Amino acid sequence: MSPAYYLFLSAALFSIGAAGVLLRRNAIVVFMCVELMLNAVNLTLVTFSRMRGTLDGQIMAFFVMVVAAAEVVVGLAIIVTIFRTRQSASVDDANLLKW
């Protein structure tokens, strides 16, 4: 088995996450699907790091995790704020910027 199989798995996980972002209406579930996509990319980075024989890919995955943590904090705060004003966590209800 070649390590490239990890890349196939990660591609599948990324696609599933993307489908979830498109399919779900609950903002929190959409957010979880975004996390799934980020994690799929992290698996790719770790696998590439191993195939290349350097640790730079792992460093990059580490920074992706840091940015994801910051993004989760801000994103969930936005969801809580929207829920407070509109009493709904659905992405369809936040439509004030709709053209």
Partner 1 sequence: MGSLLAATDVGTAETVVFWVLAPIALLAALAVVLARSAVHAALFLVVDLFCLAVFYAVQDAPFLAAVQITVYAGAIMVLFLFVLMLVGVDRSDSLVETLRGQRVAAVLLALGFAGLLGFGISDAVLDMDSVGLEAANRESNVLGIARLLFTDYVFVFEVTSALLIVAALGAMVLAHKERTGPRPSQRSMSQRRFGRGSAPTGPGVYAETQDAHEPALLPSGAPADDSGASGHSAAGGQTGSAGGGA
Binders of partner 1 among residues 37 to 66 (CB under 8 A) are 39, 42-43, 46-47, 49-56, 58-59, 61-63, 65-66
Q: How far apart are CA 31 and CA 20, in angstroms?
A: 9
Q: Which is nearer to partner 1, 53 or 96 (CB)?
A: 53
34 interacts with partner 1 by CB under 8 A: no
Residue type, 38: L
The CA-based angle 4-23-96, given to 5 degrees, is 125
Q: How far is the CB of 31 from partner 1 (least distance, A)?
A: 8
**Cβ-Cβ contacts under 8 Å for 25 (sequence gap 6 or more):** 90, 91, 92
Q: How far is the CB of 94 from partner 1 (least distance, A)?
A: 13
- Contact call for residue 6 and partner 1 (CB under 8 A): yes
Contact status: 3 vs partner 1 (CB under 8 A): yes
SS3 at position 28: helix
Binding residue (CB under 8 A) for partner 1 from 1, 94, 98, 99: 1
In terms of DSSP H, where are the helices of the chain?
4-23, 27-52, 56-86
Q: How many residues bind partner 1 (CB under 8 A)?
A: 71
